[in-house]
């Protein structure tokens, strides 16, 4: 490890050479100028797309002049190639936007393509400063009695990262195939996808341990430590993990489901290893609820068999109006709303005789539980207009305050003096 640190600090001495600094300035100064010029110009200016190619051409001309003059130019050429390749990745992203969804494209770019490019760029720069063969033989210590060098550790980390990142699309494809063959539902497909991904990751971890040369005793020691950790420290995490898989297989809680949490309808956005992420539309908040909670508490769902939900608004009408007329008007008003389902038909009921009005309830069905508040508001507005057009009064409690004068005081005759 000390040798690696010595080589790392030795690279700074290489960067202090005048020829190296000149090559770096040849590349960095035009790129900095390009950045400042872009900030001054408007984004819609026709010159903006041409600035980067012109800058790269200018850097290429300077690199060619260095080669013509017999000066070192390898670092400048490498930096030019890396910047041009990064520009090529931007063009590739524009092409992939026509083929892939935006979410999948973002994950592919941020987790696989661009990290792989940065890794290769780093290796190329290190190879320019030092010899990779010598770095690969540097020892990084002894793990579980096995001596490790830098090349084996680096390759193991790269393979493990690729397995973790690349297992997602592979597991999704296998789960889709299983769904078509076995005709399982969407919740079971997501569970199968997670199981496939965990299986691929587990195989990758075993391969990494084998590549590092860890013997079976060391692997058993790691497994024993994990089991002790499960028993003491992370049992809740393991319980939530198993609960998440069970919920996906069962289908009671799955992405897209609408649950009633703390008096508000919330849509399940994702079901992860530890917790489910739910979205509450009234304030655009995301709730993170541990998976185990759904096994220990009662949860109301509006999407168990379908997404229909019965909703209700309440209203009062004066006693002088015929209840049959009010009920018919309420039902007709609900049927006229675009987002109220015609079947089952709306139903108006007489609930009670209140102190100042007859209380009615208008019940109707909607297609999306997340729209309940807005649809109830629309129905209430329509009922107000319908009552106003029909001359039906919506009474409100009134109190009459009367002032009562206090009685005049009664005069008491003075008592006769005692004799």
Contact 248, 186 (CB under 8 A): no
Compute the average pLDDT of residues 118-129.
Answer: 76
pLDDT at 258 over 80: yes
In the prediction, which pLDDT does 155 show?
A: 75
Helix (H) / strand (E) element for 366: namely strand 358-366
* Nearest-angstrom CA–CA distance, 223 and 231: 12
Whole-number Å distance between alpha carbons of 276 and 270: 6
Highest mean pLDDT among 6-15, 53-62, 249-258, 321-330: 321-330
Q: What CA–CA distance (Å, rounded) separates 269 from 289?
A: 12
- Predicted pLDDT of residue 105: 73
Which has the higher per-residue pLDDT, 329 or 146?
Answer: 329
Under a CB-based contact definition with an 8 Å cutoff, are residues 75 and 20 in contact? Answer: yes
Strands 258-261 and 264-271: antiparallel
User: pLDDT at residue 170 above 90?
Assistant: no
R_g (Cα) of the chain, nearest Å: 37
What is the model's pLDDT at position 408?
Answer: 65
| Distance between first and last Cα of the chain | 125
Fold adopted by 309-390: Alpha-Beta Plaits (3.30.70)
Beta bridge partners of 358: 317, 353
User: Which residues in the chain are classed under CATH 2.30.30.60?
Assistant: 248-301
| Cβ–Cβ under 8 Å, residues 393 and 322 | no
CA distance 45 to 43: 5
* Mean pLDDT value across residues 133-137: 59
Q: How far is CA 147 from CA 3, 214, 308, in A?
A: 15, 10, 63
Mean residue pLDDT of the chain comes to 78
Quick count: other Cβ atoms within 10 Å of Cβ 64?
13
Residue 334 and residue 364 in contact, taking contact as beta carbons nearer than 8 Å: yes
Q: pTM score > 0.95 for this model? A: no
- pLDDT for the residue 345: 93
Tell whether domain 248-301 is in CATH 3.30.530.20.
no
Domain with CATH 3.30.70.100 in the chain: 309-390
């Amino acid at each position: 490890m000390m040798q690696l640190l010595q080589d790392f600090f030795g690279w700074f001495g290489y960067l202090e050479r005048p020829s190296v600094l000149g090559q770096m300035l040849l590349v960095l100064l035009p790129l900095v100028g390009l950045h400042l010029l872009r900030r001054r110009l408007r984004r819609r200016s026709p010159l903006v797309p041409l600035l980067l190619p012109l800058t790269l051409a200018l850097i290429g001309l300077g690199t060619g002049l260095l080669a013509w003059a017999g000066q070192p130019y390898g670092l400048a050429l490498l930096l030019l190639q890396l910047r041009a390749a990064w520009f090529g990745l931007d063009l590739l992203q524009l092409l992939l936007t026509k083929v892939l969804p935006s979410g999948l494209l973002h994950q592919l770019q941020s987790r696989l393509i661009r990290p792989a490019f940065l890794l290769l760029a780093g290796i190329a720069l290190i190879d320019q400063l030092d010899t990779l063969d010598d770095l690969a033989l540097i020892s990084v210590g002894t793990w579980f009695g096995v001596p490790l060098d830098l090349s084996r550790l680096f390759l193991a980390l790269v393979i493990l990262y690729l397995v973790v990142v690349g297992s997602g699309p592979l597991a999704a494809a296998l789960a889709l195939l299983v769904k078509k063959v076995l005709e399982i539902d969407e919740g079971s497909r997501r569970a199968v996808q997670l199981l496939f991904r965990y299986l691929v990751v587990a195989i990758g971890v075993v391969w990494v341990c084998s590549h590092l040369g860890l013997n079976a005793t060391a692997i058993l020691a790691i497994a024993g430590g994990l089991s002790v950790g499960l028993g003491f420290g992370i049992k809740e995490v393991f319980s939530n993990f198993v609960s998440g898989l069970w919920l996906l297989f069962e289908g009671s809680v799955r992405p897209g489901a609408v649950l009633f949490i703390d008096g508000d309808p919330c849509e399940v956005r994702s079901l992860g290893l530890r917790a489910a992420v739910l979205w509450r539309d009234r304030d655009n908040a995301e709730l993170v609820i541990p998976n185990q909670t759904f096994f220990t508490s009662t949860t109301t769902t509006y999407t168990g068999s379908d997404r229909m939900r019965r909703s209700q608004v309440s209203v009062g009408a004066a006693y002088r109006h015929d209840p049959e007329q009010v009920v018919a008007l309420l039902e007709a008003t609900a049927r006229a709303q675009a987002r109220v389902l015609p079947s089952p038909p709306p139903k108006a009921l007489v609930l009670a005789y209140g102190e100042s009005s007859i209380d009615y309830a208008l019940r109707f069905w909607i297609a999306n539980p997340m729209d309940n508040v807005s649809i109830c508001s629309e129905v209430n507005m329509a009922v107000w207009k319908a009552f106003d057009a029909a001359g039906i009064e919506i009474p409100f409690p009134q109190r009459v305050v009367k002032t009562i004068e206090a009685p005049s005081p009664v005069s008491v005759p003075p008592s006769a003096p005692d004799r």
